Amino acid sequence: MATTTKPGIEIHEDTDTNLEPPFHLILLDDDEHSYGYVIHMLGVIFGYSKEKGFAIACMVDAQGQAILMTGSHDEVERKQHQVHSFGADPAMPICKGSMSAVIEPAG
């Protein structure tokens, strides 16, 4: 939409009010995955350093959950699928599959 204020001068206004709100991808704690698994998974899926992966693993362990990323619903959903498809932790005999992550609106 353009509004003419003076001859030859137009002001363009962005009137797109359908901007999608951001979403968080939240990793949930369990007793079936080791710190090493979490650090490795976060490095492979998100490209996080070992230090950042360790910090997130500590947060999940202490608080029961941690935000892995914030983005559009489509971006977050793609990463959630990768987390859910990562597989079992070979270091934990009781582990039966991947970790769980949920999507929640940010804010």
Rounded Cα gap, residues 106 and 53, in angstroms: 21
Residue 107: the pLDDT is 82
- What letter represents residue 5's amino acid? T
Q: How many whole angstroms from its chain centre is CA 77?
A: 8
- Tens-digit pLDDT profile for residues 1-37: 445 455 666 655 555 555 789 999 999 999 999 999 9
The second-level CATH assignment, the architecture, of 20-105 is 2-Layer Sandwich (3.30)
Rounded Cα gap, residues 42 and 65, in angstroms: 14
Residue 13: the pLDDT is 57
Residue 10: the pLDDT is 62
Q: How many whole angstroms from its chain centre is CA 64?
A: 16
Tokens 């206004």 map to which residue? 13
DSSP label at 21?
P
Residue 6: the pLDDT is 56
- Tens-digit pLDDT profile for residues 58-106: 999 999 999 999 999 999 999 999 999 999 999 999 999 999 999 999 9
Residue extents of the structural domains in the chain:
20-105
